[in-house]
Structure 1
Amino acid sequence: MKLHSLKLWAIAFISPFLGYSQSIDSLGTNRLSEVIVESKPHDYDISEYEVSTLEPVSISRYNPNSLVTSINEIPGVYIQSGALNTNRITIRGVGSRTQYGSSKVRTYLNQIPLTNGSGETSINMLDPESIASLHIVKGPKSAEYGSSLGGTMLITTAPRTNDWLQVDQKLTLGSYDLVKNRTAVNLNTEEVSLSLAYDHLSTDGFRENNNYSRNGLQLFSEITISEKDQLSILLNQINFNAQIPSSINQTDFINNPKKAAFTWKSAKGFEDNELTLTGISYAHQFNYNQKITGSIFYNYLDHYEPRPFNILSENTHGYGGRLVYDQYFQSGKIKWTLGGEIYRENYDWKTLENLYEDNNGNGSLEGDLLSNNEELRNRYSAFTTYTHQLTDKLEFDAGLNLTYVRYNYRETFNDQIELESNYKPVLAPSATLAYRPTSQTRLFANVSRGFNYPGLETTLNPDGNLNTDLRPENGWNYEFGLQKTHSDLSYGVNLYHMTITDLIVTKRLTEDQFIGINAGKTYHRGVEGQLVYDRTVNNFKIRAYTYPTLNFHEFKDFVDDDQDFSGNPLTGVPDFKISTGLDFTYSSLFLKLNHLHVSSMPMNDANTLQSDSYNLLSLVTGAQFNLWKNLEVEATFGIGNVLDEKYASSILINAVGFGGNEPRYFYPGMPRNYFGSVGVKYSLEK
């Protein structure tokens, strides 16, 4: 980064602190909170200094078909979205190398892992309106949940309500034939809590070959067996069909962003998915100081994807268990946790010829079998954490995670190839010292180690042999944070430095063939700010917030094909991002304005191509009121991309042009769009 450019970004970073602010609050408030560094959640044993949280009101104030806008408010977190079914989450620069999904971030829903055996997470399998809260731990501080270099996402479903019966019905209509209908029923007695929700979402999209249709069912139940025993059940079922317009080149991006990639349009490419996640958890409280929680879970994926170069058919069965024991000492001042997690996944996939060019314009057509593969993925983790309230002002947290991964691969189409990939167990420690000199001031310092294993697809070369030289990524993270509150004004700042060695990068050989290599060393450094002004006068509430992120990520040591990229900024990551907004509430009326600025970012490792920076403005307004004693009505109207900004919502880094064509780097972002919702909630008290 040039010096004058650095000065400009520094000024841009500091200036918001002069006029706006962000709250540091505790979980469970009724404020219109955006990103909250919260009190320690009951469900997740993570230091209060290390968690950023999205509350339901932060999610519901945006278009209910996606979490992208909400997540992009969080400092240090950036999510790119090529389509509703194509999202890439980057936390502090980690995960930017994944081409078509989110990896290197472990995700759990009610303690049940959403991340599959190859380390990938599909957040689009969740209905945003069924999420109660989303906790994000940035960096490898969470020993209990895997010590991933990117971090951890901990998601909870809607909590138990105080009403005996609650029925919600909400209809959303919007641009590009957006239709979403959600029906939810909550039933509560002293012994049983039951939540059942069904949603349907469909849209034509704004691009060619961009239709999307999803049906989802979510069930969550808590059963109190006795004063010491509780059982919970989770079922999440999603079926969706999504056409794929894919990325486009710069010429089409400028002149016709609605256009689909030519081959994908000709093949009428799409993906059809059936996903099931289910789990049962049992908690037993021995006494005031001892508790044990166990869970078993199962997930299933049936994926079918006709692509121009072939047709992919996948079938995945994953299952496992998790056991956690908690022990308290000295009247709760010391807490010790010991636990483990086992996950096994059977992954079968095959590819077939796609004869779309010989199908009279009718799209994809299955041809001969090209490959048939089987894979068994195994992941075993053990962990322990220790929390000690040394004094009223000083707390010490420590954690240790040990993980072992093994892959078995068999190719059954040609030569009956059988391969096994074993990695040495990785030990990842974490330690945090937190100091609260006053009730309004909090400081913490953390040092932690994290890791990411390569998936078998990354280690598998096109010739069918394993790249035994490929090593897991690992790195050390050093972080300092300050949080302070002054009456209506709250602010915070986090500084971190993470060094990652053996960063795994993907090289594209052909349109559908990739290999992984270790890229030497990368530095991930940054400053994340939080500032909120929050004031309530009678029935009028105003909240002004800003969350700036300043990154200094770079390749420290990276030589590829005799090209030295050392010293270049990390590809696919903006060096500056800031989310600023205003929330107004008066009686039953509300108005929310949010502005997101994302700076330019390198699109290739040589840094010879840069994306354009962009600004997105969102507006949502509405009213919430009681029509009768037990009947609540909410009407909402929103505009996305108010200024009709032309921007790339996702970048395909290091794109390669084949057959003399331009490389296809760009996923165009949606133009100005509108949505309106009407919801009715009927409640019946116990």
Structure 2
Amino acid sequence: MFRNLLLLLVVLFPCITFAQTSIQVLDAQSGEAVPFVSLKGNNLPSFVADENGQVNLSLEEAAEIRFSHVAYESQEVLVPVSGTLVVSLQPAANALAEVVVSSFETERPLLEQAAGIVRVSEADLFRFNETSVVHAFNTKPGIRVEERAPASYRISIRGSSLRAPFGVRNVKVYWNGIPFTAADGTTPLNMLDVANLQNTEIIKGPAGSIYGAGNGGVISFSSSPEITENRISTDLSFGDFGMTRYRFGLSQQMEEGGIKVSYVRQKADGYRDHTAMDREVVQLTGHFKPSEKQLLTTQLLYSDLFYELPGALTASQVAENPRQARPGSAAQNASIDQQSMYGVVSHDYQFHPKFSNKTSIYINTVDFENPFNLDYKKETQFSYGGRTSFTYDGNWGSIPVRLIGGGEYQFSNTAAQNFGNRGGQADTVRFSDELLTRTAFLFQQLEAELSERFLLTLGLSENFSSFDIARNIDAIRGMPSQARRTFDPVIVPRIALSGKLNEQSAVHGSISSGFSPPTIDEVRTNEGTINLDLEAEKGINYEVGYRSSFRQGRVNVDISAFYFKLDETITTFTNPDGVVLFRNAGATDQKGMEALVDYALIRKQLSFIQELKLTHTFTGHYFTFADFMKGENDFSGNDLTGVAPHTVVNQVDLRTRPGFYLNFTHQFVDDTPLNDANTVYQEAYHLVNTRLGWRGSAGTTLDLEVFAGVENLGNASYSLGNDLNPFGGRYFQPAAPRNFYGGIKVGVKY
């Protein structure tokens, strides 16, 4: 009996088939097969399509499977148990109509946005050495990031660094939805590592109608909290001048969310004497969905940063030895030692298909120590704040509208002490202050789709700010004192109109107001002065622009022109002791034009060269002092200090089917005036950077990348950030000559 049954099975076995699904993956635009697409579903092993875009699956039941490829938009597909299935993937969003940005609290395609907005993606950061954001940001028109020493940043959006001798001012910065700019107007941008930034959106020009103070613009950083897979990853890079950087990351999915942790350590000796830096950053993220209507995100960020300050040099010192530090900087241990911790909770709630809310709150602590050539500063700060916004999508008659309203509040309490500096150690206390700063604003915005072509935006905010300075110890004057400044409430409006010419192009125009009160560091300077007469800057910006996308996103154009009129402009000057002070300088006229054009010469996934893309940007900033008297000198009509009139960037990006890639960047920066009299200039220079490498996978679980690069390939002599209007002719902070770097990245899915 058993022998007969076995014989029957042997005879029938060739006729038995198992249910199977045959899948073909195609390019939705060209119809060509897309090779090596990754397929992943819940509780299923990972699969990879072959070089012909084909894969066969054996499933017990129909399943939702995610198809993903580096060059295409990911797509969720319901795969049946058996049969033949064709999956068409859209090429990754390169067209402006497909790039969605969330600026002005509303997610819309960039083509529809009526503002000067640029996006810095993670891929932009990976075109360079991943030790800072400097080179990636400087490829964008209208944006200028300076790094006078490793981790010593200064950001200029359309010339806004005029009042920032150090640090980031006059620009509002957000990180994962919370205000990263402190209540006192300063931003510790150097506390963040590139690993904490997956996407950046930059609004150029005043955006106070919805983001509060800051004439320069708004920078919104985000590190995606969503965890889509279990993964361990690590990076290691190294370079000239003692640079090392390593990162470890872990992401773990949970039933309704996940957690992610990363640790980064970066060290460098620096090109110049006394320019060492050391930074550690830990980020812990939680992503949870309590219900279908709710999303809860938690963030914990700790950063420990130390870097030395070499100081600026005169022209003769640069000619003698550009690597030297300013005399006295090393002896006095001029440096920054700063530890900061952010705790963040964000909650998204969809009350109704048309009505939602997002609320974020944070707590921040900072310990700051800054020995300098002339003094020694210590600060301890505790601050908290939050932001909430409500969004309603509905109709006003036959007109679709979106209403947005909300508010933001920030408070900081700082214990600040200034001492004498004796050989790098804190000496006798000079003055000790308690600083209380408050800032708040309410905002509301209406978006009305007047027709299929026209989108009208009306925005308005009401802004409030004040600070209190309690001088508990004043060794110079001998008497404690109290100072308080409350700025009058400021109404900041904005009107914008975007009009589609067709599905591939649009024009836009806007009128927006802005204001920027002085920061606490500008009112209370290092030599002990409290300048309560310093007024807030106020300005109005007029802007028009054109955006278009042709040949299915292969060619993209973004052009804008603007005129910004700024009153009570805050500028810097240096007293004979070398202390930077501030004053209002009348008015400035800022006319400009910015343009970006990119086009793909080759985009074929099956060819050896899968993509060859060229990008060109132009920045023309024609900024002048409209009304500026400095003692008996009339500088009206002079070019604005620290602003290059012309900047040009050319980029080439090459990607091949075997995984090799090449990124090439050339940047030209025009002559830049370094003093208000326009008698000293930073000479024009050409800067060339390049990176090449290989990215690939081993099986379905291991990702690998090896890379190397050269910074300043042409060995240009330049300063990546100069001191403006300094005493004693100390203008220049020489940047590194030609230097090399390399590294490796490994990621493992589990």
- TM-score normalised to the size of structure 1? 0.91
How far 1:32 moved relative to its partner?
10
Amino acid paired to 1:277: Y
1:198-597 matches, within 5 Å, as 198-330=263-395, 333-356=400-423, 364-414=424-474, 415-460=479-524, 466-487=530-551, 488-511=554-577, 513-534=579-600, 535-537=602-604, 538-539=606-607, 540-587=610-657, 588-597=659-668
Say if 1:333 and 1:221 are closer, same or farther in 2 by CA, change over 3 A: farther
How far 1:513 moved relative to its partner?
3.5
Percent of aligned pairs sharing the same letter: 24
- Bigger Cα displacement from structure 2, 129-138 vs 143-152: 143-152
**C-alpha distance in structure 1 between counterparts of 2:152 and 2:107, whole Å:** 30
The Cα offsets for residues 648-668 of structure 1, whole Å up to 9 and x where unpaired, read as: 1111000111xxxxx211111
CA contact (8 A) 1:36 1:52 kept: no
For 1:628, the equivalent position in structure 2 comes to 699
**C-alpha distance in structure 1 between counterparts of 2:688 and 2:137, whole Å:** 15
Amino acid paired to 1:336: L
**C-alpha distance in structure 1 between counterparts of 2:277 and 2:411, whole Å:** 31
Amino acid paired to 1:160: E
- Bigger Cα displacement from structure 2, 264-273 vs 405-414: 264-273
Amino acid paired to 2:418: T
CA contact (8 A) 2:150 2:270 kept: no
Partner secondary structure for residue 666 of structure 1: coil
How far 1:162 moved relative to its partner?
2.8
For 1:71, the equivalent position in structure 2 comes to 137
For 2:714, the equivalent position in structure 1 comes to 643
How far 1:471 moved relative to its partner?
1.6
**C-alpha distance in structure 1 between counterparts of 2:651 and 2:534, whole Å:** 44
The Cα offsets for residues 153-191 of structure 1, whole Å up to 9 and x where unpaired, read as: 00100352432x011111001111211110011122341
Amino acid paired to 2:427: G
The Cα offsets for residues 94-115 of structure 1, whole Å up to 9 and x where unpaired, read as: 2222101111000000111111
Amino acid paired to 2:617: Y
**C-alpha distance in structure 2 between counterparts of 1:458 and 1:354, whole Å:** 21
Number of equivalent positions: 647
Say if 1:101 and 1:643 are closer, same or farther in 2 by CA, change over 3 A: same
For 1:39, the equivalent position in structure 2 comes to 100
**C-alpha distance in structure 2 between counterparts of 1:373 and 1:530, whole Å:** 48
**C-alpha distance in structure 1 between counterparts of 2:534 and 2:392, whole Å:** 40
1:31-180 matches, within 5 Å, as 38-41=99-102, 44-45=105-106, 48=110, 49=113, 50=115, 51-141=117-207, 143-146=209-212, 148-163=214-229, 165-180=230-245
- Bigger Cα displacement from structure 2, 279-288 vs 32-41: 32-41
CA contact (8 A) 1:27 1:39 kept: no
Q: 2:727 aligns with which of 631, 656, 669?
A: 656
Partner secondary structure for residue 488 of structure 2: coil
- TM-score normalised to the size of structure 2? 0.83
For 2:683, the equivalent position in structure 1 comes to 612
How far 1:26 moved relative to its partner?
12
When Rg is computed on C-alpha atoms for both structures, the one with the higher figure is 2
The answer for unaligned runs of 5 or more in structure 1 is: 1-24, 357-363, 658-662
Say if 1:457 and 1:679 are closer, same or farther in 2 by CA, change over 3 A: closer
Say if 1:462 and 1:132 are closer, same or farther in 2 by CA, change over 3 A: closer
**C-alpha distance in structure 1 between counterparts of 2:530 and 2:190, whole Å:** 31
**C-alpha distance in structure 2 between counterparts of 1:402 and 1:512, whole Å:** 38
Q: CA RMSD in A?
A: 2.2
CA contact (8 A) 1:440 1:484 kept: yes
Say if 1:610 and 1:36 are closer, same or farther in 2 by CA, change over 3 A: farther
**C-alpha distance in structure 1 between counterparts of 2:364 and 2:345, whole Å:** 12
The Cα offsets for residues 589-620 of structure 1, whole Å up to 9 and x where unpaired, read as: 11000001111111100101111111110110
CA contact (8 A) 1:68 1:79 kept: yes
